[in-house]
Amino acid sequence: MSRSLREVVFVDGVRTPFGKAGPKGIYAETRADDLVVRVIRELLRRNPSLPADRVDEVAIAATTQIGDQGLTIGRTAALLAGLPTSVPGYAIDRMCAGAMTAVTTTASGIAFGAYDVAIAGGVEHMGRHPMGEGADPNPRFFSEKLVDGSALVMGSTAENLHDRFPHLTKERADAFALASQQRYAKAVANGQIGPELVPVATRSAEQGWGLATADEPPRPGTTLEGLATLKTPFRPHGHVTAGNAAGLNDGATGCILAAEDVARELGLTAGMRLVGYGFVGVEPEVMGVGPVPSTERALARTGLTIDDIGLFELNEAFAVQVLAFLDHFGIADDDPRVNPWGGAIAVGHPLASSGVRLMTQLSRQFAERPDVRYGLTAMCVGLGMGATVIWENPNWEGAAQ
Q: Specify whether 96 is catalytic.
A: yes
> Looking at 126-248, which runs of residues are DSSP E strands?
200-204, 208-212
- Ramachandran assignment for 91, one of left (phi > 0), alpha (psi -120 to 50 degrees), beta (any other): beta
Closest to 43 measured CA to CA, from 8, 16, 70: 16
Would you state the torsion angle of the CA atoms of residues 316, 195, 366, 255, taken in this order, to the nearest 10 degrees?
Answer: 70
Q: Which residues contact 136 (CB under 8 A, 6 or more apart)?
A: none
Phi, psi of 106 (to 5 degrees): -70, -35
Q: Which helix (H) or strand (E) covers residue 258, if one does?
A: strand 249-259
Q: Which residues contact 228 (CB under 8 A, 6 or more apart)?
A: 174
Q: Which residues pair with 276 in a beta bridge?
A: 390
> Looking at 112-182, which runs of residues are DSSP E strands?
117-125
Angle between helices 32-46 and 73-80 (to 10 degrees): 60
Q: In this structure, are residues 287 and 391 in contact, taking their beta carbons and an 8 Å threshold?
A: no
Closest to 210 measured CA to CA, from 36, 29, 41: 29
Q: Which of 96, 162, 239, 255 is catalytic?
A: 96
Q: Which residues pair with 212 in a beta bridge?
A: 200
Q: Which of 129, 162, 239, 349 is catalytic?
A: 349
Q: Which of 125, 162, 239, 380 is catalytic?
A: 380
Q: In this structure, are residues 110 and 11 in contact, taking their beta carbons and an 8 Å threshold?
A: no
Q: Specify whether 237 is catalytic.
A: no
Helix (H, G, I), strand (E, B) or coil at 77: helix
Residues annotated as part of the active site:
96, 349, 380
